[in-house]
Amino acid sequence: MRILVLSHEYPPVGGGAGASCAILSEEYVAAGHDVTVLTMGHASLPSEETINGVRVLRQPCGRKRWEMASPTEGLIWARRAWRVALGLHRRQRFDITHAHFVMPAGIVARWLQRSTKLPYVITPRGSDVPGYNRERLKLAHALARPWWKHIVRHACWVISPSSSLLELIQVQAPTVRALVIPNGVNTIRFAPGTKQKRILLCSRLVERKGFQYFLQGVRDLEFPDWQIDIVGSGPYQATLQQLAVNSKTPIVWHGRIDNQDPRLAALYAQATICVLPSERENCPVAILEGMTAACAVITTNVTGNPEVVGDCGYLVPPRDAEALRAAILFLVNDEALCRTLGAAARQRALEKFEPAQIARRNLEVLSDCLDRQEVGP
Protein backbone atom coordinates (compact mmCIF):
# COMPACT_ATOMS: atom_id res chain seq x y z
CA MET A 1 0.00 0.00 0.00
CA ARG A 2 0.96 3.62 -0.51
CA ILE A 3 -0.06 5.24 2.76
CA LEU A 4 -0.35 8.95 3.49
CA VAL A 5 0.04 9.64 7.20
CA LEU A 6 -1.26 12.98 8.47
CA SER A 7 -0.32 14.25 11.92
CA HIS A 8 0.55 17.69 13.28
CA GLU A 9 2.84 15.89 15.76
CA TYR A 10 5.81 13.85 14.62
CA PRO A 11 9.21 13.57 16.35
CA PRO A 12 10.88 15.71 17.39
CA VAL A 13 7.69 17.82 17.51
CA GLY A 14 4.94 16.95 20.00
CA GLY A 15 4.66 14.32 22.70
CA GLY A 16 3.51 10.72 23.04
CA ALA A 17 1.04 10.89 20.16
CA GLY A 18 3.80 11.91 17.77
CA ALA A 19 6.07 9.16 19.08
CA SER A 20 3.42 6.48 18.62
CA CYS A 21 2.66 7.81 15.12
CA ALA A 22 6.34 7.46 14.23
CA ILE A 23 6.52 3.92 15.59
CA LEU A 24 3.50 2.92 13.52
CA SER A 25 4.77 4.61 10.35
CA GLU A 26 8.15 2.89 10.63
CA GLU A 27 6.49 -0.48 11.18
CA TYR A 28 4.37 0.10 8.07
CA VAL A 29 7.60 0.56 6.12
CA ALA A 30 9.15 -2.53 7.74
CA ALA A 31 6.10 -4.50 6.57
CA GLY A 32 6.80 -3.47 2.96
CA HIS A 33 4.53 -0.45 2.51
CA ASP A 34 5.36 3.00 1.12
CA VAL A 35 4.74 5.74 3.71
CA THR A 36 4.73 9.52 3.40
CA VAL A 37 4.15 11.58 6.54
CA LEU A 38 2.83 15.13 6.26
CA THR A 39 3.36 17.00 9.52
CA MET A 40 4.06 20.43 11.02
CA GLY A 41 7.28 22.31 10.59
CA HIS A 42 8.95 23.98 13.54
CA ALA A 43 12.08 26.05 14.15
CA SER A 44 14.98 24.91 11.95
CA LEU A 45 13.73 21.38 11.21
CA PRO A 46 14.26 20.34 7.56
CA SER A 47 11.22 20.59 5.32
CA GLU A 48 11.85 17.09 3.99
CA GLU A 49 13.87 14.09 5.15
CA THR A 50 13.69 10.30 5.26
CA ILE A 51 13.71 8.76 8.76
CA ASN A 52 14.01 4.97 9.03
CA GLY A 53 12.47 4.59 5.59
CA VAL A 54 9.62 7.04 6.20
CA ARG A 55 9.43 10.11 3.97
CA VAL A 56 8.65 13.05 6.28
CA LEU A 57 7.40 16.36 4.88
CA ARG A 58 7.06 19.29 7.29
CA GLN A 59 4.74 22.17 6.43
CA PRO A 60 5.39 25.51 8.20
CA CYS A 61 2.46 27.05 10.08
CA GLY A 62 4.06 29.42 12.60
CA ARG A 63 4.12 26.83 15.39
CA LYS A 64 5.60 28.40 18.52
CA ARG A 65 6.03 25.49 20.96
CA TRP A 66 7.66 22.10 20.58
CA GLU A 67 5.26 20.32 22.93
CA MET A 68 1.86 21.54 21.68
CA ALA A 69 0.15 23.53 18.95
CA SER A 70 -2.67 26.07 19.22
CA PRO A 71 -5.99 25.66 17.38
CA THR A 72 -5.03 28.56 15.10
CA GLU A 73 -1.73 26.90 14.19
CA GLY A 74 -3.64 23.70 13.52
CA LEU A 75 -6.04 25.38 11.12
CA ILE A 76 -3.21 27.13 9.26
CA TRP A 77 -1.42 23.82 8.91
CA ALA A 78 -4.58 22.03 7.72
CA ARG A 79 -5.15 24.53 4.94
CA ARG A 80 -1.55 24.35 3.73
CA ALA A 81 -1.23 20.59 4.24
CA TRP A 82 -4.33 19.91 2.15
CA ARG A 83 -2.82 21.66 -0.87
CA VAL A 84 0.43 19.73 -0.46
CA ALA A 85 -1.39 16.41 0.05
CA LEU A 86 -3.58 16.98 -2.99
CA GLY A 87 -0.51 17.65 -5.15
CA LEU A 88 1.25 14.56 -3.80
CA HIS A 89 -1.77 12.37 -4.46
CA ARG A 90 -2.12 13.60 -8.03
CA ARG A 91 1.53 12.73 -8.67
CA GLN A 92 1.82 9.39 -6.91
CA ARG A 93 -1.71 8.15 -6.05
CA PHE A 94 -1.94 7.06 -2.43
CA ASP A 95 -4.15 4.08 -1.57
CA ILE A 96 -5.34 5.36 1.80
CA THR A 97 -4.86 8.08 4.41
CA HIS A 98 -4.17 7.40 8.07
CA ALA A 99 -4.92 10.58 10.03
CA HIS A 100 -3.74 10.96 13.62
CA PHE A 101 -6.03 13.36 15.53
CA VAL A 102 -9.57 14.13 14.37
CA MET A 103 -8.43 17.74 14.11
CA PRO A 104 -6.47 19.10 12.39
CA ALA A 105 -5.36 15.99 10.45
CA GLY A 106 -8.91 14.73 10.00
CA ILE A 107 -9.84 17.99 8.27
CA VAL A 108 -7.18 17.35 5.64
CA ALA A 109 -8.21 13.70 5.27
CA ARG A 110 -11.86 14.62 4.72
CA TRP A 111 -11.01 17.35 2.20
CA LEU A 112 -8.88 14.84 0.31
CA GLN A 113 -11.67 12.30 0.34
CA ARG A 114 -14.15 14.82 -1.05
CA SER A 115 -11.70 15.88 -3.76
CA THR A 116 -10.29 12.50 -4.76
CA LYS A 117 -12.38 9.77 -3.04
CA LEU A 118 -9.24 8.70 -1.14
CA PRO A 119 -10.49 6.71 1.90
CA TYR A 120 -9.23 7.52 5.37
CA VAL A 121 -9.03 6.11 8.87
CA ILE A 122 -8.55 8.23 11.98
CA THR A 123 -6.71 7.52 15.21
CA PRO A 124 -7.91 10.06 17.82
CA ARG A 125 -5.33 10.96 20.42
CA GLY A 126 -7.24 12.49 23.34
CA SER A 127 -7.21 16.26 23.21
CA ASP A 128 -8.94 16.13 19.83
CA VAL A 129 -12.02 14.50 21.43
CA PRO A 130 -14.65 16.71 23.13
CA GLY A 131 -14.75 16.21 26.89
CA TYR A 132 -11.21 14.87 27.20
CA ASN A 133 -9.49 18.05 28.40
CA ARG A 134 -10.61 19.87 31.54
CA GLU A 135 -8.35 22.90 31.18
CA ARG A 136 -8.12 23.68 27.47
CA LEU A 137 -9.77 23.55 24.01
CA LYS A 138 -13.37 23.74 25.32
CA LEU A 139 -14.25 26.70 23.10
CA ALA A 140 -12.51 25.17 20.09
CA HIS A 141 -14.50 21.96 20.49
CA ALA A 142 -17.77 23.82 20.93
CA LEU A 143 -17.21 25.78 17.74
CA ALA A 144 -15.97 22.80 15.73
CA ARG A 145 -18.46 20.15 16.97
CA PRO A 146 -20.54 19.85 13.76
CA TRP A 147 -17.42 19.56 11.61
CA TRP A 148 -15.87 17.12 14.13
CA LYS A 149 -18.89 14.83 13.84
CA HIS A 150 -18.82 15.13 10.06
CA ILE A 151 -15.17 14.01 9.94
CA VAL A 152 -15.58 10.94 12.15
CA ARG A 153 -18.81 9.88 10.39
CA HIS A 154 -17.06 9.83 7.02
CA ALA A 155 -14.02 7.90 8.24
CA CYS A 156 -13.86 4.31 7.06
CA TRP A 157 -12.77 3.34 10.58
CA VAL A 158 -11.95 5.18 13.79
CA ILE A 159 -9.12 3.43 15.64
CA SER A 160 -9.14 4.38 19.32
CA PRO A 161 -6.02 3.56 21.37
CA SER A 162 -8.17 2.92 24.47
CA SER A 163 -11.67 1.85 25.42
CA SER A 164 -12.10 4.90 27.64
CA LEU A 165 -11.42 7.26 24.72
CA LEU A 166 -13.76 5.27 22.49
CA GLU A 167 -16.55 5.83 25.01
CA LEU A 168 -16.02 9.60 24.74
CA ILE A 169 -16.03 9.39 20.95
CA GLN A 170 -19.28 7.45 20.94
CA VAL A 171 -20.97 10.09 23.10
CA GLN A 172 -20.53 12.49 20.17
CA ALA A 173 -20.89 9.94 17.33
CA PRO A 174 -22.69 6.81 18.56
CA THR A 175 -22.92 5.11 15.16
CA VAL A 176 -19.29 5.54 14.12
CA ARG A 177 -17.47 2.40 12.92
CA ALA A 178 -14.75 2.06 15.55
CA LEU A 179 -12.48 -0.38 17.35
CA VAL A 180 -9.67 -0.30 19.92
CA ILE A 181 -6.01 -0.83 19.04
CA PRO A 182 -3.52 0.44 21.64
CA ASN A 183 -0.32 2.34 21.00
CA GLY A 184 2.86 0.42 20.44
CA VAL A 185 6.14 1.03 22.26
CA ASN A 186 9.73 0.61 21.13
CA THR A 187 10.68 -2.37 23.28
CA ILE A 188 14.26 -2.34 22.01
CA ARG A 189 15.09 1.33 22.58
CA PHE A 190 13.46 1.44 26.02
CA ALA A 191 15.14 -1.60 27.48
CA PRO A 192 15.92 -2.02 31.19
CA GLY A 193 19.38 -1.19 32.46
CA THR A 194 21.15 -1.12 35.79
CA LYS A 195 18.53 0.30 38.12
CA GLN A 196 19.36 3.18 40.41
CA LYS A 197 17.45 4.90 43.19
CA ARG A 198 15.64 7.22 40.82
CA ILE A 199 12.01 8.20 40.34
CA LEU A 200 11.14 9.38 36.82
CA LEU A 201 8.24 11.59 35.67
CA CYS A 202 8.03 12.34 31.94
CA SER A 203 5.30 14.32 30.19
CA ARG A 204 4.16 17.68 28.87
CA LEU A 205 4.09 20.04 31.84
CA VAL A 206 0.40 20.94 31.88
CA GLU A 207 -2.01 20.98 34.81
CA ARG A 208 -3.88 17.85 33.70
CA LYS A 209 -0.77 15.68 34.08
CA GLY A 210 -0.97 16.05 37.88
CA PHE A 211 2.72 16.54 38.66
CA GLN A 212 1.70 19.14 41.26
CA TYR A 213 0.07 16.45 43.41
CA PHE A 214 3.19 14.31 43.27
CA LEU A 215 5.36 17.27 44.33
CA GLN A 216 2.96 18.19 47.12
CA GLY A 217 2.97 14.61 48.36
CA VAL A 218 6.73 14.10 48.52
CA ARG A 219 8.20 17.55 49.19
CA ASP A 220 8.73 16.92 52.93
CA LEU A 221 9.95 13.34 52.47
CA GLU A 222 13.65 12.65 52.60
CA PHE A 223 14.79 9.55 50.72
CA PRO A 224 18.48 8.77 51.33
CA ASP A 225 20.35 8.38 48.04
CA TRP A 226 17.20 8.77 45.89
CA GLN A 227 16.72 11.32 43.10
CA ILE A 228 13.62 12.56 41.27
CA ASP A 229 14.02 13.17 37.53
CA ILE A 230 11.42 15.31 35.72
CA VAL A 231 11.46 15.39 31.92
CA GLY A 232 9.28 17.75 29.91
CA SER A 233 8.34 21.33 29.21
CA GLY A 234 5.12 23.27 29.01
CA PRO A 235 3.08 26.19 30.34
CA TYR A 236 2.80 24.75 33.87
CA GLN A 237 6.55 24.43 34.37
CA ALA A 238 7.09 27.58 36.46
CA THR A 239 4.31 26.58 38.88
CA LEU A 240 5.77 23.11 39.30
CA GLN A 241 9.27 24.38 39.87
CA GLN A 242 7.99 26.72 42.57
CA LEU A 243 6.29 23.78 44.31
CA ALA A 244 9.58 21.87 44.21
CA VAL A 245 11.72 24.61 45.77
CA ASN A 246 11.70 23.12 49.29
CA SER A 247 11.82 19.44 48.34
CA LYS A 248 14.04 17.42 50.68
CA THR A 249 14.71 14.85 47.95
CA PRO A 250 16.86 16.16 45.07
CA ILE A 251 14.89 17.00 41.92
CA VAL A 252 16.61 17.28 38.55
CA TRP A 253 14.71 19.17 35.82
CA HIS A 254 15.89 17.83 32.47
CA GLY A 255 13.63 19.97 30.29
CA ARG A 256 12.24 18.63 27.05
CA ILE A 257 14.06 15.57 25.64
CA ASP A 258 13.02 14.19 22.27
CA ASN A 259 11.51 10.72 22.40
CA GLN A 260 14.24 9.36 20.13
CA ASP A 261 17.10 10.94 22.08
CA PRO A 262 19.29 8.27 23.77
CA ARG A 263 19.28 10.35 26.96
CA LEU A 264 15.58 9.64 27.46
CA ALA A 265 16.02 5.89 27.04
CA ALA A 266 18.91 6.06 29.54
CA LEU A 267 16.73 7.80 32.13
CA TYR A 268 14.07 5.11 31.82
CA ALA A 269 16.69 2.36 31.94
CA GLN A 270 18.10 3.74 35.21
CA ALA A 271 14.78 4.59 36.90
CA THR A 272 13.40 2.17 39.47
CA ILE A 273 10.02 3.91 39.69
CA CYS A 274 8.06 5.68 36.93
CA VAL A 275 5.16 7.99 37.91
CA LEU A 276 2.37 9.49 35.80
CA PRO A 277 -0.27 11.06 38.12
CA SER A 278 -2.49 12.33 35.30
CA GLU A 279 -6.19 13.17 35.62
CA ARG A 280 -6.94 11.69 32.20
CA GLU A 281 -5.02 9.64 29.67
CA ASN A 282 -5.70 7.82 26.44
CA CYS A 283 -2.96 5.18 26.02
CA PRO A 284 0.00 6.91 27.71
CA VAL A 285 3.31 6.45 25.93
CA ALA A 286 5.24 7.58 29.02
CA ILE A 287 3.83 4.64 30.98
CA LEU A 288 4.45 2.22 28.10
CA GLU A 289 8.09 3.32 27.97
CA GLY A 290 8.41 2.92 31.74
CA MET A 291 6.91 -0.56 31.55
CA THR A 292 9.17 -1.80 28.78
CA ALA A 293 12.16 -0.40 30.73
CA ALA A 294 11.05 -2.55 33.71
CA CYS A 295 10.11 0.34 36.00
CA ALA A 296 7.68 -0.08 38.86
CA VAL A 297 4.79 2.10 37.67
CA ILE A 298 2.60 4.41 39.74
CA THR A 299 -0.29 6.01 37.90
CA THR A 300 -3.92 6.95 38.39
CA ASN A 301 -6.84 4.54 38.35
CA VAL A 302 -8.82 6.40 35.67
CA THR A 303 -9.40 6.39 31.89
CA GLY A 304 -6.71 4.67 29.82
CA ASN A 305 -4.15 4.08 32.58
CA PRO A 306 -5.61 0.84 34.02
CA GLU A 307 -6.00 -0.53 30.48
CA VAL A 308 -2.27 -0.11 29.93
CA VAL A 309 -0.93 -1.13 33.33
CA GLY A 310 -3.31 -3.98 34.18
CA ASP A 311 -2.21 -5.54 37.46
CA CYS A 312 1.47 -4.71 36.89
CA GLY A 313 1.51 -1.31 38.60
CA TYR A 314 0.32 0.73 41.55
CA LEU A 315 -2.91 2.65 40.85
CA VAL A 316 -4.03 5.65 42.93
CA PRO A 317 -6.94 8.13 42.66
CA PRO A 318 -6.30 11.30 40.62
CA ARG A 319 -5.62 14.63 42.35
CA ASP A 320 -4.67 12.83 45.56
CA ALA A 321 -1.33 13.93 46.98
CA GLU A 322 -1.64 11.69 50.04
CA ALA A 323 -2.25 8.57 47.94
CA LEU A 324 0.80 9.37 45.81
CA ARG A 325 2.85 9.94 48.96
CA ALA A 326 1.79 6.56 50.36
CA ALA A 327 2.55 4.76 47.08
CA ILE A 328 6.02 6.31 46.82
CA LEU A 329 6.83 5.45 50.45
CA PHE A 330 5.62 1.90 49.91
CA LEU A 331 7.79 1.26 46.85
CA VAL A 332 10.87 3.15 48.04
CA ASN A 333 10.91 0.91 51.11
CA ASP A 334 10.46 -2.34 49.15
CA GLU A 335 12.98 -2.62 46.34
CA ALA A 336 12.19 -6.32 45.87
CA LEU A 337 8.58 -5.37 45.05
CA CYS A 338 9.89 -2.74 42.64
CA ARG A 339 11.85 -5.41 40.80
CA THR A 340 8.84 -7.76 40.73
CA LEU A 341 6.48 -5.08 39.41
CA GLY A 342 9.08 -3.93 36.89
CA ALA A 343 9.60 -7.41 35.49
CA ALA A 344 5.84 -7.99 35.23
CA ALA A 345 5.36 -4.62 33.53
CA ARG A 346 8.03 -5.37 30.92
CA GLN A 347 6.51 -8.76 30.18
CA ARG A 348 3.08 -7.15 29.71
CA ALA A 349 4.58 -4.54 27.35
CA LEU A 350 6.27 -7.25 25.28
CA GLU A 351 3.06 -9.27 25.04
CA LYS A 352 0.49 -6.55 24.40
CA PHE A 353 2.23 -3.46 22.99
CA GLU A 354 4.99 -4.81 20.74
CA PRO A 355 5.09 -2.45 17.73
CA ALA A 356 5.05 -4.95 14.86
CA GLN A 357 1.97 -6.63 16.37
CA ILE A 358 0.21 -3.25 16.75
CA ALA A 359 1.11 -2.30 13.16
CA ARG A 360 -0.31 -5.58 11.82
CA ARG A 361 -3.63 -4.87 13.50
CA ASN A 362 -3.73 -1.36 12.03
CA LEU A 363 -2.83 -2.66 8.57
CA GLU A 364 -5.72 -5.12 8.74
CA VAL A 365 -8.03 -2.14 9.28
CA LEU A 366 -6.51 -0.23 6.37
CA SER A 367 -6.88 -3.30 4.12
CA ASP A 368 -10.50 -3.63 5.18
CA CYS A 369 -11.11 -0.04 4.07
CA LEU A 370 -9.68 -0.77 0.63
CA ASP A 371 -11.78 -3.93 0.34
CA ARG A 372 -14.89 -1.95 1.23
CA GLN A 373 -14.03 0.63 -1.40
CA GLU A 374 -13.66 -2.05 -4.08
CA VAL A 375 -16.99 -3.65 -3.18
CA GLY A 376 -18.75 -0.27 -3.11
CA PRO A 377 -21.82 0.77 -1.16
**Model confidence pLDDT, tens digit, residues 353-362:** 999 999 999 9
Mean pLDDT value across the chain: 93
- Looking at domain 198-352, what is its CATH homologous superfamily? Glycogen Phosphorylase B; (3.40.50.2000)
CATH class of residue range 2-184+354-375? alpha beta
* Residue 282: predicted pLDDT: 92
Buried b (16+ CB within 10 A) or exposed e, 98-117: bbbbbbbbbbbbbbbbeeee
Q: What share of the chain is helix, strand, coil (3-state, %, to 5)?
A: 45, 20, 35
pLDDT at 377 over 60: no
Parse the chain into domains and list their residue ranges: 2-184+354-375, 198-352
* Fold matches, 2-184+354-375 and 198-352: yes
Name the least confident of 131-145, 150-164, 294-308, 310-324. 131-145
**Euclidean distance between CA atoms 121 and 88, whole angstroms:** 18
Contact predicate 271/252, CB 8 Å: no
* Residue 140: predicted pLDDT: 64
Strand 34-40 relative to strand 48-51, pairing? unpaired
> Which H or E run includes 147?
helix 138-154
* Residue 138: predicted pLDDT: 63
* Longest CA pairwise span in the chain (Å): 67
Half-sphere exposure of 201 toward its Cβ, with a 13 Å CA cutoff? 26
Three-state DSSP state, 266: helix
Measured at the alpha carbon of residue 172, what is the angle toward residues 171 and 178, in degrees to the nearest 5? Answer: 80
pLDDT at 37 over 60: yes
pLDDT at 294 over 50: yes
pTM, whole model, 2 decimals?
Answer: 0.92
Q: What end-to-end distance do the CA atoms of the chain give, in Å?
A: 22
- pLDDT (mean) for 8-14: 94
Q: What is the pLDDT of residues 107-141, one digit of tens each?
A: 999 999 999 999 999 999 988 888 887 666 666 66
- pLDDT (mean) for 178-183: 96
Choice between 240 and 223, residue whose per-residue pLDDT is larger: 240
pLDDT above 70: percentage of residues in the chain:
96
Contact predicate 341/314, CB 8 Å: yes
